[in-house]
A and B are shown apart, each in its own frame.
Chain A
Amino acid sequence: MIQPQGVLIRLKQVRPFIYGPTAIVWIYGLYQALILSPPDYQQGESVRLMYVHVPASWWAIGIYAIMAVCAAVRFVAQLPVGDLIVKSLAPMGLVMTALSLVTGSLWGKPMWGTYWAWDGRLTSMLILFFLYVGYIILSCAHDDAEKGLTVGSILVMIGAFNLPIIKWSVHWWHTLHQGPSVIRMGAPTIHGDMMVALLSMAAAYGMALFLIFVLRFEGEIARRRLYVLRGLARRLQKGDV
Chain B
Amino acid sequence: MGDFGVYTPFIWGGYGVSIAGFSILILHTVWMRRKAILMVDHLQRHYDAARTSTTI
Judging by beta carbons under 8 Å apart, are B56 and A95 in contact?
no
Known contacts A52-B14, A99-B18, A229-B47: A212-B29 contact under CB 8 Å? yes
Q: How large is the interface on B (under 10, 10 to 19, 20 to 34, 35 or more residues)?
A: 35 or more
Residues of B within 8 A of A109 (CB): 10
Grouping DSSP codes into helix (H, G, I), strand (E, B) and loop, the A interface class, with mixed when no group exceeds half, is: helix
Partner of A95, one of B24, B34, B39, B43: B24
Residues of B within 8 A of A110 (CB): 8, 10
Residues of A within 8 A of B22 (CB): 95, 208
Judging by beta carbons under 8 Å apart, are A226 and B6 in contact?
no
Known contacts A49-B11, A106-B10, A222-B37: A233-B47 contact under CB 8 Å? yes
Interface residues of B (CB under 8 A from A): 1-4, 6-8, 10-11, 13-15, 17-18, 21-22, 24-26, 28-30, 32-34, 36-37, 39-40, 43-44, 46-47, 50-51, 56
Apart from A110-B10, A226-B36, list 18 A-B contacts with CB within 8 A: A34-B2, A39-B2, A45-B2, A45-B6, A48-B2, A48-B11, A48-B14, A56-B21, A91-B28, A103-B14, A106-B17, A107-B14, A215-B33, A219-B29, A219-B33, A233-B56, A236-B51, A237-B56
20 contacts between A and B (CB under 8 A): A45-B11, A46-B8, A48-B2, A49-B10, A49-B14, A53-B14, A56-B21, A95-B21, A99-B17, A106-B13, A215-B33, A219-B32, A219-B34, A219-B36, A223-B32, A223-B36, A226-B43, A232-B47, A233-B46, A236-B56
